[in-house]
Amino acid sequence: MKKQRTTQQRKVIEEICFSSTCPLSIDDIESRGKEILATLNRVTVYRNLNRMVDAGELTRFSHPEKGTLYEQANRPHHHHFFCKTCEATFELPGCGLSLKKQTPAGFIVEGHEVFLNGVCAACAS
C-alpha cells in the first residue's frame, strides 16, 4: 500500500475529528476546518475522511436526520441523542437495550444503533 503523505489539510481534519467529543457531519468538519485553514475544500475533507475510515481511525454511520456522521473508532458501545433545537448530536454511554428480549427467535443480531431525539439540557433551560 502506498504511504499517504501528511498534508496541512489532513492535519487540520485529524485535529478536528480526534478532539471532538461528539459525532461530526461533513459540514461540521468543513466549517471548523475553514476557520483554521481557509483553503480547505469539501473534496479534500471527503477524501481524508474516507482514508481515515478505511484505516480504522474513524467510524462512519448514518443518522436519520443529520445524515452521515463521523466519530473516533474503537470507542465503547454507545448511542446518540439529537437535539432538535440546537441540532447538536451527543454521545450516550452504554446500552440499555436487551437484544435477547427484542430479537425474534432465529434472528442473528450483528449490531445495532439507537437514536434518541428531543431537546438537550442547555436548550431546555
Numbered ranges of CATH 1.10.10.10 in the chain? 8-72
Positions of CATH 3.30.1490 in the chain: 78-124
Q: Residue 65: what pLDDT?
A: 80
CATH 3.30.1490 fits domain 78-124: yes
Block residue for cell numbers 477524501: 47
Bin 5: left if φ > 0, else alpha if -120 < ψ < 50, else beta. Answer: beta
Helices (H), the chain: 8-19, 26-36, 42-54, 99-102, 121-124
What pLDDT score was predicted for residue 98?
Answer: 66
The CATH architecture of the domain made up of 8-72 is Orthogonal Bundle (1.10)
Consecutive 10-residue averages of pLDDT for the chain (125 residues) = 73 96 93 95 96 96 88 88 90 76 80 86 94
